[in-house]
Each structure stands twice: as structure tokens, then as C-alpha cells.
Amino acid sequence: MDRLDVLSVVSEIFPLVKTGGLADVAGALPFALAPLGVRVRTLIPGYPPVLAAIEKASVARALPDWYGGPARLLRTTIAGLELYVLDAPHLYNRAGGPYVGPDGRDFPDNAKRFAALCRMGASIGQGLAPRYRPQVIHTHDWQAGLTAAFLHFDGGPRPPVVATIHNLAFQGQFGRELLASLGLPPKAFSPDGVEYYGDIGFLKAAVRLADRVTTVSPTYAAEICTAEGGMGLQGLLRGRSDKLVGILNGIDTAVWDPAADPLIAQPFGPDSLAARPANKTFLQARFDLTPDPDAPLFGVVSRLSWQKGLDLLLEALPTLLQEGGQLALLGSGDAAMEAGFAWAAEAHPGRVGCVFSYDEALAHEIQAGSDCIVVPSRFEPCGLTQLCALRYGAVPLVARVGGLADTVIDATPMALASGAATGVQFAPVALPMLERAIRRTAALYRDKPAWRRMQANGMAADVSWNDPARLYAALFAELAGR
């Protein structure tokens, strides 16, 4: 089979910079596609941690003036990932995260920072990098959304673009007065271009102008075409529904492998579940919880934001405690939510423990030691923590939305009787339903054979990238005319 070259354009990538699942996907997909004959190179901004990780790079292009300053396009390989790094110090070399400064606010020039990335993605598509012509460009989220717009309005030969929506809640909407400074021609400002409710919409441009639009689960693909889930883009998405497809995420099963995970206290597998409780003991100690092997231990690994519905979990805490449960939460984000959980931990010593930070190792320990992972999201394009939970024998308790609906089999009487259940779902996303789901989970936990069966089913589920990668490869091949 001939090799197919794909340029991925993305604003974060594991293990270099990560704020969420987007980075996990961008970092895992190249490895999953390689055995299928798809060679992915990824274009990312030269943030400080990216530049620091470079051991050896070549300069693919010197750029005397790229959006207001000198820049370079570097070509390098880090952690097995083939990368183009846009090294533009005036845009990316600063303290803070990829989007937000040390003061916790979005950088004021984010429109320009990511337009510069998109312009580079488009230009590489047109042949700017020596000896490289991608046959398909794959863009992720709003930050890469203008890539399709630049290619479209430049005219001329161009590779087809696949735009993947990881989260519709972030759309990259900016004032129209920025048009020229972003490098867009006046004609781009139209409903068939980047115009979005009188502003410039980065994600809108991608949805309108990409050759295909994908999102990260089939259910989310349907939800975003509705008024409830479309966040303003439902009309356009409905109009393009013949070009819209949902492809589930996988997880990197080498990074997330309970049998060989260096970050957990005691490795275990489907055939050695008896070794798993050592991780619960460890977790209880780590979170100052009472060392009780029989208390159902609920774990959370999450950004703390409205999307994730954890305010509901806070409200449902009395139910969780009534059922004899414990809670170990790792999260960061919304200050009010942090304060709420901190208060709960203080009010319930030995029963509720919280760590407010971003901690990769602790995330693994929570997956390995919790009995149940709770994901009560109001919306969830795919969700990765429930996939990790399945693989780690932690039974997921999830809202029946988006990718959570697609990846967990609810323990209905039928699913239990036929031995298919892998977790607990609730809908709609509201307090009484979550409380009921917690009671249902606790009852299942007390039914040891049923619980063990659910754990085994979850661990047997294929949460790898194998199937999704085949779907992406087929899509890329179709667009490349193979």
C-alpha cells in the first residue's frame, strides 16, 4: 500500500502540552494510523515546553515576518511524533498555558496566535515545507479552524481538509475588525466564509469550508445538529450533515495499561483482579480516607467546569455518603467548584478527599484504585476518563450524553441478565437522576458477583484506537482519491 501523508494541525499534543483530551487524541492518533499506511506529521505552536523538548531540529523555513515578528518553521521528532513546530517567540514564547496567561485570562491576541498557526497549516498544504506535500490536512477544534478558510480563499490546488470538532463549546469567535490582521481577504467575511453572527468564527469557518467535518462520537454528532446541543452552529451543521460523521476516540492502551503501569501502586489485569485492591488501599491513604476495603470508593479525574456537571455531584454528596461511599477527586479549574469540594472535604474527614491540581500520575492511581469513576457531564463530545475506567476495572457512572452514551453499557436488568453491562448511566442530567444512579451503583457494588462481572466486561471492552484509526484512515483515503 502506498503511504498517505496527512498534516495534522493542532494547538496541544500529549506528552508536550496538554489541557485536556484534545492533546491525548492528537498524540495518539499518529501512532494508531502508522500501521495503516497513514503517515502523520503534526504542526504545533512553539510554546516553551515544546521548544525545551527539542533535541535536534532543522529549519524548514525562515520566516522574516510571520504575523508581526520573525519566526521559523522547525522540523523535528519528539517522543516518536513527527512535528513541524512554528517557532514564533512573539506569539508563543510566554508564561502560562497554551491559551491562558498566568493571570488566568485568555491571551488578548489569541485570534492572531492561532490564525498564524492556521496560515502555516494552509501554507504547508500548498508546499511551503521542503519536500513535503500532505494529501490531506486534518485540523482540530477552533484553534486550527481557519486553515480551511485560508486554503479556500487562496484558491488554487489544495489538499482536502478534515475538521474535527472536539468541543463545540469553544468556538473562537472574534471581532470582525481583526479580519485583515488575521490575514484574511475581505471576501472571506461572508456567511459562506468566516462570518459568524457578525463576528469572525474560527470553528464556524471550519464547519463551513472543510471537506469533511468529524466529531468524536456518533451521539455527539447527532446532538450538535439540535438546538439544545448545537451552540449556535446547529443550522450549519444540519446543512452539512452529509459531510458530518462521528468517530469515537480511543485511548493509548500502552500509556493506560493496568498490567504494566509504572504510575500505580500495584499492577493488575483481568486475570489478576485480586491484586487490584492494593491500589484502593493506596488511594485511601493518599486522599486521607478511612482505610475501609468495603466502602464503595467513587473517583473523579476532571477539569472543573460547567460542562463536567460536578456541581451536581457536590449536591448529590449526601446520597453518596448515605450509601457508605467515599469520594476521591482530582480536578482543577472553576474556583467556586474547587471551594465547594474543599468545603466538603473539610466537612467529611475520612470520607471525601480532594486534590486540586493537574497530576498525571495521580490520575492513573485514581483509575486503578477507585471502585467507580463518576462522569456526570452535561455534555461530553467523547470523554476519555470513562474509557480509562473501563480498562482499569473501575465501573463508570456516567451521564447518558455524547460519547458517554456510546461507550458505557448501562446495567439495566436486561444488560445484567445477558452479562453485557459495563457501567451505570443516568438521564436527564439532573440531581434526582444522579442520586438514583449513585444508589443503583452502591447496590450493584454490594452484589459482588454482579460487580465483578461488570468489571470484567469493562476490561474486555476494546477502548483502543484500532477501530477508530481504521475509520479515520478510510476517510483520509477516500478524500485523497484512493
How far, in Å, CA of 161 to CA of 151, rounded? 9
Compare residues 21 and 309 and give the one whose CB is closer to ligand GLC. Answer: 21
Name the residue nearer to ligand ADP (CB basis): 22 or 182: 22
Give, as ranges, the residues between 291 and 320 that touch ligand ADP (CB under 6 A): 301-303
x-or-dash string of contact with ligand ADP, 12-41, rule CB under 6 A: --------xxx-x-----------------
- Residue 367 CA to residue 387 CA, distance in Å, equals 10
Q: Judged by CB under 6 A, which of 6, 10, 16, 22 binds ligand GLC?
A: 22
Site map for ligand GLC, 395-434, x if CB under 6 A?
--------x-------------------------------
Q: How far is the CB of 90 from ligand ADP (least distance, A)?
A: 29
Q: Tell me the closest approach of the beta carbon of residue 90 to ligand GLC, in angstroms.
A: 28
Number of chain positions touching ligand ADP (CB under 6 A):
18
Instruction: Report if residue 330 touches ligand ADP, rule: CB under 6 A.
Output: yes
Q: Is the distance from CB of 401 to CB of 375 less than 8 angstroms?
A: no
Nearer to ligand GLC, 319 or 407 (CB): 407
Q: Does residue number 323 form part of the binding site for ligand GLC (CB under 6 A)? A: no
- Type of residue found at 295: A
Q: Which stretch binds ligand GLC (CB under 6 A): 16-24, 188-196, 223-231, 291-299?
A: 16-24
Give the gyration radius of the chain's Cα atoms.
23
Question: Within positions 147 to 176, which residues make up the interface with ligand GLC, using CB under 6 A?
Answer: 166-167
Q: Contact between 331 and ligand ADP (CB under 6 A)? A: yes
User: Are 216 and 165 a contacting pair, CB within 8 Å?
Assistant: yes
- Does position 337 interact with ligand ADP (CB under 6 A)? The reply is no
382 is a contact residue toward ligand GLC (CB under 6 A): yes
The answer to whether the Cα torsion of 253, 464, 453, 431 is positive or negative is positive
- Does 380 engage in binding with ligand GLC (CB under 6 A)? yes
Strand order in the sheet with 199-201: 173-174, 199-201, 195-196
Q: Which is nearer to ligand ADP, 360 or 467 (CB)?
A: 360
C-alpha cell at 397: 457512572
Min. distance of Cβ 387 from ligand ADP in angstroms? 8
Pick the closer one to ligand ADP by CB: 312 or 363.
Answer: 363
Report in angstroms the alpha-carbon separations of 430 from 98, 164, 253, 375, 478. 33, 29, 33, 13, 42
Write each residue from 352 to 391 as x if it is in contact with ligand ADP (CB under 6 A), else as -, in one continuous string.
------xxx--x------------------xxxx------
Our CA angle for 4, 220, 228, nearest 5°, is 145
Order across the sheet with 4-9: list the strands. Answer: 57-63, 71-78, 81-87, 38-45, 4-9, 136-140, 161-165, 212-215, 244-246
Contacts of 457 (CB under 8 A, 6+ apart): 409, 419, 420, 421, 422
For the chain, counts of helices (H) and of strands (E):
19, 18
Contacts of 275 (CB under 8 A, 6+ apart): 266, 267, 268
Check binding of 402 to ligand ADP (CB under 6 A).
no
Query: Which positions touch ligand GLC (CB under 6 A)?
Result: 20-22, 25, 166-167, 216, 249, 380-384, 403
Contacts to ligand ADP by CB under 6 A: 20-22, 24, 301-303, 330-332, 358-360, 363, 382-385
